[in-house]
Amino acid sequence: MSFVDSTLPEILARASWRPDSWQSRSAGQQPLYAERDALHAVLAEIHQLPGLVTWGESELLKRQLAEAARGERFVLQGGDCAESFDDCTAEQIANKLKIILQMSLVLIHGLHKRVVRVGRIAGQYAKPRSADAETRDGVTLPSYRGDLINRSEFTAAARAPDPALMLKAYERAALTLNHVRALVNGGFADLHHPEYWDLDFVRHSPLAAEYGRIVGAIMDSLTFMETISGPLSESGRVDFFTSHEGLHLPYEQAQTHFVEPAGRWYNTSTHFPWIGMRTADLDGAHVEYFRGIANPVGVKVGPEMTPSTLLKLIDILDPDAEPGKLALIHRFGADHIRDCLPPLLRALRSEGRRVLWICDPMHGNTERTDSGIKTRRFENILAELETAFELHEAHESVLGGVHFELTGEDVTECTGGARGLVEADLDRAYKSQVDPRLNYEQSLEMAMRIVGRAR
């Protein structure tokens, strides 16, 4: 793809990408560290440490995402809005894996497609904030930006950006990923044993019978296939990939390595980093960093995006139209998707560009209750998703996946769903420091409703 509108300096600038070339651009959402020496020492240390993922895994994911873009697979991406260091426990990691595996089982069964499982996990530690500072009772301190940057407690010491937290984040991500890999390789994800994924409360859930029926049907098919052709080796193994918002560029740069056999640069902190909506400007530092890495990458697309900006963004991030390279994750809100999405779909179609489209039905549907609690309604999340399926179909496009903020715990952060959570329930188990997540039951129900819609 050529840059017909570009000036010569622009073309030269593009040619000279380096892991640190983003530093000459304006970078949104970056904290200010008081001690530069401490910052550089931590970054140098992280750079020396082994990557958390390999470039071969990122390439495998890219191939699977290319299939999803063609409608041959379906992507399930989900996890916390922000992971916290304290939640790095065996139980919470297993619960997150369980709900994603259970949802993927429902989707495989109902959509008759293989599912690409991508966690917002093992590195989702940095958050964009609407304001740099927060004031309480006349005291103003830097905003909490996630455990990668500072601490949430409202004191000057806790809110000061601390470079040592990056090292801790790298280690927590490694511990999380190690546990996920051990569970997956140890047979936890074996389709023959979906009972490993049972969570206590599934038995008391209004959805228990429906889920039990799906598991029963899958076990029957598996037994039938194995009776005919012997044990299916693939059913004992699943691929599980990681993703996070590549927000904090010094941290991402420190984990960027040139891979000789591939002849390309890879971010080895995650398989699939994405650019958040607030940092996706064409001339900004995030787009500059992301254009140089060979990982599959995502970009959040919100209501402000115009067709012409989107086409330029695609040219910059995926100049060679590489299959599976670029995912556009749209997040407009149930009330806006009908106005916002069709012009973008038409623009891509008229330019003959194929990307992977994923719907994030969470971030355009956030609201506050009268008492100021951040929440989301199950019915709005579902409505945006259903409209997304309808609009892609009407424009001969493919909705290749979904992106949820969810947890394997029994929290009360979003209202609605089969159990009928109402605003008064939110107090009972509201744990998120940032955005409200679907709880375990609401997540499973969402997978069932997607399947209902697809039928």
Nearer to ligand PEP, 114 or 403 (CB): 403
Q: Which does 248 bind (CB under 5 to 8 A by kind): Co ion, ligand PEP, none?
A: none
409 vs 435 by CB, closer to Co ion: 435
**435 vs 445 by CB, closer to Co ion:** 435
Which residue's CB is nearer to Co ion, number 85 or number 196? 85
Residues 83 and 124: beta-carbon distance below 8 Å: yes
Q: Which does 236 bind (CB under 5 to 8 A by kind): Co ion, ligand PEP, none?
A: none
* Cα Rg of the chain, angstroms: 22
Q: Which is nearer to Co ion, 105 or 362 (CB)?
A: 362
Residues that bind ligand PEP (CB under 6 A): 81, 128, 245, 276-278, 300, 331, 363, 435
**Which residue's beta carbon is nearest to the bound ligand PEP?**
276
Decide which of ligand PEP, Co ion, none touches 98; Cβ closer than 5 to 8 Å per partner kind.
none
- Rounded Cα gap, residues 169 and 85, in angstroms: 7
φ/ψ region of 183 (left if φ > 0, alpha if ψ in -120 to 50, else beta) reads alpha
Kindly state the smallest distance separating residue 262's Cβ from ligand PEP, in Å.
28
Contact 81, 408 (CB under 8 A): no
Angle (deg, nearest 10), helices 90-111 and 208-229: 70
In the structure encoding, which two tokens stand for residue 33, read together? 């560290």
CB-CB contact of 161 with 31 (8 Å): yes
Query: CA-to-CA distance for 349 and 339, rounded, in angstroms?
Result: 17
Q: Which does 276 bind (CB under 5 to 8 A by kind): Co ion, ligand PEP, none?
A: ligand PEP
Which helix (H) or strand (E) segment holds residue 135: the answer is strand 133-136
- The 10 Å Cβ neighbour count of residue 194 is 20
Rounded to whole angstroms, the Cα distance separating 152 from 362 reads 23
Q: Which stretch binds Co ion (CB under 5 A): 11-19, 81-89, 221-229, 423-431?
A: 81-89
Both tokens of 315, joined, read: 């040219």
Q: Indicate the residue among 300 and 376 with the shorter CB distance to ligand PEP.
A: 300
Residues contacting Co ion: total by CB under 5 A: 2
27: contact with Co ion by CB under 5 A: no
Q: What is the closest distance, in whole angstroms, from the C-beta atom of residue 186 to ligand PEP in the complex?
A: 30
Q: For 391, phi and psi rounded to 5 degrees?
A: -70, -40
- As separate numbers, helices (DSSP H) first and strands (DSSP E) second, the chain gives 13, 14
Taking the C-alpha atoms of residue 414 and residue 149, their distance in angstroms, rounded to an integer, is: 27
Least Å from the CB of residue 120 to Co ion: 9
| Closer Cβ to ligand PEP, 159 or 331, answer by number | 331
Of residues 431-450, those binding Co ion (CB under 5 A): 435
CB of residue 77 vs ligand PEP: minimum separation in angstroms?
A: 10
Binding partner of 99, given ligand PEP, Co ion, none, CB within 5-8 angstroms per partner class: none
Q: Among residues 81 and 107, whose Cβ is nearest to ligand PEP?
A: 81
- Rank residues 252 and 435 by Cβ distance to Co ion and give the closer one: 435
Nearest distance, CB of residue 277 and ligand PEP, angstroms: 4
By CB under 5 A, tell whether 81 contacts Co ion.
Answer: yes
Nearest to 147 by CA among 131, 119, 113, 171: 171
- Residue 443 to residue 42: CA distance in whole angstroms: 38
Distances (CA, A) of 403 to 221, 297, 357: 28, 14, 10
CB of 179 to ligand PEP, least distance (A): 23
How many CB atoms are closer than 10 A to CB 341? Answer: 24
Q: What CA–CA distance (Å, rounded) separates 113 from 111?
A: 5
Q: Cβ 97 to ligand PEP, closest distance in Å? A: 20
Residue 67 is a binding residue for Co ion (CB under 5 A):
no
**Nearest distance, CB of residue 201 and ligand PEP, angstroms:** 26
Q: How far is the CB of 241 from ligand PEP (least distance, A)?
A: 16
**Can you list the positions of beta strands (E) in 302-405?**
326-330, 356-359, 367-368, 374-375, 399-405
Residue 331, binding choice from Co ion, ligand PEP, none, Cβ under 5 to 8 Å by partner class:
ligand PEP
Give the one entry of ligand PEP, Co ion, none that residue 97 binds, where binding means its C-beta sits below a cut-off of 5 to 8 angstroms depending on kind.
none
Query: Nearest distance from residue 277's CB to Co ion, in Å?
Result: 10
Q: By the criterion CB under 5 A, which residues form the site for Co ion?
A: 81, 435
